[in-house]
Amino acid sequence: MNSKEIFSLALNIEKPWYIKDIILEKPDSKIFGRLTIQIDFERGAKFTIEGGEVCSVYDTKIMRWQHLNFFENECYIEARVPRVKDKNNKIHRILKVRSVYAALSVCILQFLFTKPQEFIYFAQY
């Protein structure tokens, strides 16, 4: 089992999501470094928005969240988060990356996604 498979199991990553890369940066002058887990979704993936409509990706934004330390190394998760366009041409950002954070508690999700100070599945623009 390679490192991508191990982290996929640990983070409960499911299709269309996958671990694109795992980067451990460790400067010579420091004992501990930084682990970055990059998560992406498969090309052509579609996402279901509130109400059950399945939509294609309109565009994406790289988002980064700090996770709990990994053996004293800072740990970050970066994901290419999609926005989708519904049948009424309304844009929705897929905030809840279910596959990435399924194993984490709702409390951590609230902390990670707190722009509007409440946990929501989708944010509309």
Please identify which residue in the block is written with the tokens 């979704």.
41
What is the pLDDT, as a whole number, of residue 96? 55
What is the pLDDT, as a whole number, of residue 28? 82
User: How many Å apart are CA 45 and CA 56, to the nearest integer?
Assistant: 7
What is the pLDDT, as a whole number, of residue 95? 63
Q: What is the mean pLDDT of the chain?
A: 78
Span 92-102, pLDDT tens digits:
888 654 444 44
User: How many Å apart are CA 90 and CA 96, to the nearest integer?
Assistant: 18
| Contact assessment for residue 17 and residue 41, using Cβ atoms and an 8 Å cutoff | yes
Is residue 16 reached through a cis peptide bond, with omega within 30 degrees of 0 on the bond before it? yes
Q: Where are the domains of the chain?
A: 3-124
> What residues in the chain have per-residue pLDDT under 50?
97-125
What is the pLDDT, as a whole number, of residue 29? 77
pTM for this predicted structure: 0.71
